[in-house]
Amino acid sequence: MESLIAVWEAFPYLLQGAVVTIIAVVGAMGLGLLIGVPMAVGQVYGNRPVRFLVGLYVWFFRGIPVLVLLFLFYFGLFSLMGLNLNALAAATLVLGLTSAAYQSQIFRGSIQSLSQGQLKAAKALGMSDFMGIRTIILPQALRLSIPGWSNEYSIILKDSALAFVLGTSEIMARTHFVASRTYQHLPLYITAGILYFILTWAGMRALRGLERKTRIPGYSHG
């Protein structure tokens, strides 16, 4: 009973944490998209040095745990660069940089699955490389990437829980704060788990909706 009261009283506070979580996740996804698309294009169409650099970036960010990256950037590299970011901004940035590595591979897969003749056809019609990629390749590739993207959403959402190590007051950190005061660890962490579960479910549903909405009738791939 005592535990239910603790959860009930903490619930609005945890919900605010969900808003912080959503801000971090949406920010990170957006950032990952902004960096990931050019990286994917560079990896498919770029010259050797570009491909090498993108490969190096992907290797680095996919090979190091998010937790280690958070510590490294927040306490180390960001300060060295003179960036004075608060915990939420830093966590969003690190999650975004990591996600860029993963997203670039999702987009690369989609681009490569398109028939290469399309870009040639675009060029034959007088389009520049850039224009062909932007108006012909990417609109198709991005559509194809939505399933991979929704998977990535669920991963980032769960990774965002690690931001608590920086003191970002998202769901996980807030759960810890309340548990420290009330000593009701189990019910509070179960509540946090349910919140994350709802966010995963809702986000996946929304992305499935997006997939359906952007579908082109009669266009099937593969």
Segment holding 52, helix H or strand E = helix 48-63
C-alpha to C-alpha distances, 52 to 48, 64, 179, nearest whole angstrom: 6, 19, 47
Closest CA to 101 of 57, 144, 137, 53: 57
- Torsion sign over Cα 150, 152, 154, 160: negative
128 φ, ψ to 5°?
-75, 165
- Calculate the CA 67 to chain-centre distance: 15
Write down the number of H helices and E strands in the chain. 10, 0
In the bound complex, what is the minimum distance in angstroms from residue 181's beta carbon to another protein? 5
Going by the DSSP 8-state scheme, the letter that residue 216 receives in this structure is: P
Identify residues 195-214 at the interface with another protein (CB under 8 A).
Answer: 196-197, 200-201
In the bound complex, what is the minimum distance in angstroms from residue 60's beta carbon to another protein? 7
CA–CA separation, 53 vs 39, rounded Å?
9
Q: Is 27 in the site for another protein (CB under 8 A)?
A: yes
Q: Is 178 in the site for another protein (CB under 8 A)?
A: yes
Q: Is 31 in the site for another protein (CB under 8 A)?
A: yes
Position of tokens 């990591």? 98
Going by the DSSP 8-state scheme, the letter that residue 218 receives in this structure is: T
Identify residues 113-172 at the interface with another protein (CB under 8 A).
Answer: 154, 157-159, 161-162, 164-167, 169, 172
Q: Is 79 in the site for another protein (CB under 8 A)?
A: yes
Q: Is 9 in the site for another protein (CB under 8 A)?
A: yes
Nearer to another protein, 77 or 216 (CB): 77
In the bound complex, what is the minimum distance in angstroms from residue 147's beta carbon to another protein? 13
Could you list the residues that contact another protein (CB under 8 A)? 9-10, 12-13, 16, 23-24, 26-27, 30-31, 33-34, 59-60, 62-69, 71-72, 74-77, 79-80, 84-89, 92, 154, 157-159, 161-162, 164-167, 169, 172-174, 176-183, 185-186, 189-190, 192-193, 196-197, 200-201
